[in-house]
Amino acid sequence: MGKLSHVDSGNRPTMVDVSGKIASEREAHARSIVVLPAAVMSELDGDEIMTKKGPVFATAIIAGVMAAKKTHELIPFCHPLGLDSCKVSIEIEENQAVIDCRCKVTHKTGVEMEALTGASVAALTVYDMLKALSHDIVISETKLMSKTGGKEDFRRGT
């Protein structure tokens, strides 16, 4: 296991100093899965669910992008990034909402936390907007699918 990047030589938490790095294009893709029970799936009309609060998936997409842009306000030591691109998509696969968040930036630091935050908040928004239909909704996982740029690239097998 490598050295933790957010701990200094005195073992105190610290923000990573990226001043010596060269800016490069970096991308990250994160995914959250929301398992929807039958009571929720029965409300699906095409690729959307309308509630009194509005269109669930369209609202979750907006929330995911907003969250990705504010990651540095939510996660300690994340650098503020001016994202070049953030795209959130939601697909229904069987009884699951598959939420993908893809972020891109040209910067000295990666964009994984922005993608993970975007996918997570989109999933939480789906839960919030549908909880009146069922509390059996489960956010089953959130994971990094891939990242490029920086020290090393990463791609999850499945």
Give me the mean pLDDT over the 111-130 stretch: 98
Lowest-confidence segment of 11-25, 61-75, 115-129 by average pLDDT: 11-25
Handedness of CA 102, 86, 66, 48 (dihedral sign): negative
Q: How far apart are CA 90 and CA 50, in angstroms?
A: 15
**What percentage of the chain reaches a pLDDT higher than 90?**
83
Q: How far apart are CA 144 and CA 109, in angstroms?
A: 16
Q: Which residues are tagged catalytic?
A: 128
> What is the model's pTM?
0.92
pLDDT-derived band of residue 126, with 50, 70 and 90 as boundaries? very high
The structural domains of the chain, ordered by start, are: 24-148 (3.30.70.640)
Radius of gyration over alpha carbons of the chain, in Å?
17
- In this model, does residue 60 exceed pLDDT 80? yes
Q: How far apart are CA 57 and CA 43, in angstroms?
A: 13
